Structure 1
Amino acid sequence: MTDRPSARATVALVADDFTELPYPERESAPDGPLGWPGYGAARARAARRTGERESVICGTAHVGGVRAVLIAFDFGFLGGSLGERTGDRLVAAYSHARAHRLPVVPLVATGGSRMQEGMLALTQLQRVARESALTRAAGLPQIAVVRDPTTGGGWATLGAGADVVLALPGAQVGFAGSRVRPADADPAAYTAEAQVAAGAADALVGPEELRGTLGRWLRLLTRPSTAPVPPPPPLGATDLPATGWEAVGRARSTRRPRAAAYLDACLTDRVTVSGDRCGGTDPEGMLCGFGEQGGRTVAYAAQTGTATRPAGYRTAARLVRLADRLGIPVLTLVDTPGAANDAEAERQGAGAAIADLFGAVAAARTPVTTLVVGEGGSGGALALAAPGNTWATPDSYFSVIAPELAAAILKRPPEEAESTADRLRVRPQDLAELGVIRGVVDTPPA
């Protein structure tokens, strides 16, 4: 990506207006705090070239009708590098956001810390991290847009540290910049596309789509609600299964509606949260994001009917914690034969990932509603279920483990899987009678 628009051009790309904040003016020696020869002259040249006095501009703006604090880097000013004055501006921006209850949108394009200020520049990352943490604790969203390039400490704080990370296609994005990475390093690993694939960024967004996408995210993440999500009505069968084995067969049917159909039916204007921020994604096993329902925002984490990978559980836990901080109710859809149990899943920390999701759901203060829409296989399904507010569709089941595996554990022949399903009482009406779920959606009480 060779086109590197200025900070003000980038603001104009996404915002309807922009009012720059007043900045603290730090006094410094002509060649900076280290007396670096020629540093003062370099800053003066950068100011003449860009029309800016520092590498970042900060202000308030309306994006898609939502007022936010924008932080825009100008790569033309000393590579968008962070120095002491940059840190002062960033602190002022975050402080203003908290004082006025505004979301923060960093538009990042930086090579990292400014060499001519040495460790004084590097420690600005600690200041930024603290401001970001305080803003997170205040329940305000941070949505970063990473431009070309976003490397070094700017990526490791303002970029990757945001709640949601949107990346411009083709941008160089990574902790190691092009001049410091190993000579034999694969350049494709340091791209926006690679960061999305590795779960470190949520989505690629083209410049022409950036204003609309950013506005949608801001609208959805700035509408808290205290009311729980009502469980969606069933999209498949409405009559109850006669036997446990029939319940299992219905849930495993390829004709049964899946998570995507339920999300399409009950949510509009959806945006996707992708990636566990630990190097993994599970797009085939777990769908996470935010959508609109009746004029309010709902967060969702939905299993898709496959064995859920560790990255899927970690992404869901990330989603639940973000929704909890922002006061947004959560809908979870349970549908999995169980957690992935292959050797690679164990190497990726399946147990720890499931434990993390159990903990996130248990600790959530925002209301969580769960609907079992298909298979509920063991702890890999239960981790996503809300204690005390879980419902089931008539074409679902929930079991301590699949009936075939239960029979094997009990040393019974395979042909006893059917009778084992009955003994386990896996039907949705059995689960309601046992108190495991609150009820079966759209069926009369027993």
Structure 2
Amino acid sequence: MTATAPAEEQLWSRCAGCASLLYRKRLLRNLDVCPECGAHARLGAPDRLRQLVDPASFVALADRPADVDPIGFVDVLPYPHRLAAARTGTGLTEAVVCGTATIAGHRVALAVMDFRFLGGSLGCAVGELITRSAERALDERIPLVLVTASGGARMQEGALSLMQMATVSQAVAALREAGVLTVSVLTDPTYGGVAASFATNTDLVLAEAGARMGFAGPRVIRQVTGRALPEGFQTADFLLRHGQVDMVVPRRALRGRLASVLAAAAAGRPPTLPPPAATAPRPQAPSTGTTSVVPESDGIATPGPDEDPWTTVRAARHLARPTTLDYLDAAFDGFVELHGDRLGADCPAVVGGLARVDGRHVVVVGHQKGHTTAELVARNFGMASPAGHRKALRLMRLAARLGLPVVTLVDTPGADPGVRAEEHGQAAAIAENILMMSCLPTPVVAVVTGEGGSGGALALAVADRVLMLRNAVYSVISPEGCAAILWPDRSAAAQAARALRLTAPDLCRLGIVDEVVPEPPGGAQSAPAVAAELLRRAVAANLTPLLDVPPATLVRRRRERFRRYGAARLTGVGVR
């Protein structure tokens, strides 16, 4: 519905769906659903809570994370100014409201997102609050209900916002292991990093009528594919037809449907305690991270920290840069490729199988690009489809069953944003990889060898040790995409690259990356054999200490790693 005055002062509203002029009080009685055409208007978090929970039952979380500006992001406005404007405009402190309440008498923990606040974007504070809600649900053994409305991860917090996908997902994993019900309610819109993590990896996924959900937004898909989108694409009914949600529920029936689900959960056997690996203790503030570099050998150059990030972006994308198959040939021995997701497809953008490194058997999974236009097209430019993510998932589960370590090689501009990928559940496929990797009871070493693009990269990078080649990049969004959204035009991509703090030294200082692997002078493409040897040494050195760690301890430490990216733990952490 559209109107010019504040909601509380409006007498009339015009429906955005059918353009009918509606009496505001009548619209409110109908829960902001147009009585003429059924269009569901977007709700802010306070209104959503009033509709869903029992009167006077909601108790907000008593604590709130500290404000953070972890990378000092500035576009046409400094990030703190954008936060201040969002708080003034919404009356909220962040893009989510969290607490406990009862729904039809059933006690739940709740996290309700608000799209009005910077597009409901997932930043460190939002991730921290939702994670605390999940931890409260685990402590009290009560269901967790997530109401999502988001455009994705928050660009202004760089790769740290990307990490929140893993942080919240592993909190959901702990609830799954403990037998505590988790429910997400998708509202309009739910996209990007939220769709590809906790919005779709809960036990039940409900979609409110009129909701839209997907990994990539319609505008991005049209730009990438140059195709018109099918009628009703990414709508709640589309999601239901393609098996991506449990049910579509009109707003008036939503509270009653949640009550039925909660009653069924309460009638089951009491949740059991999680295994020791599932519950990570609340960690203290982490180290801010110090750049660690593989010891240099003769002729190995390590460019200075002041090198222009846009130069690094272009180096990461160089067509001659070694690919995953190149590294498998030169840095690993005896690679045996395994194909297929066992559900009907074999994505060429993801390769994986059995190999050896320093004589030790491992499972290796990585993105595969190419060196020529024909190879890039055949491999979909390294952009994995849902089948690619499911193939990776199958191979990592095989590794766990065989007791083999996992090595992942990350080199992708992002996950496949095409229509077919959305039809086959791209967001849920990424979400399941992130959740499963947080539980994998075997060592995992991830290496960003070229581009580490958004959720497509994180789907292979929830690891015990995360390494980056010196000329690789890892980011929540491409510089071009960031510039197109926050700057007047895409020509500001170089500025966006600097603002995003996406280089290996920056990410090492932020604690996202553990080690920077040097490259030969001129980059990995100038001496692929030397680059492969450096990668082999780095993988072996980081894998060896993990081999004797008990599986439960591995999982616990991995979860502690990603839990530390919460806002309360980032005070004082920054790159300037």
TM, length-normalised to structure 1: 0.49
Q: Give the structure, 1 or 2, with the largest relative contact order (CA under 8 Å, sep 6 or more).
A: 2
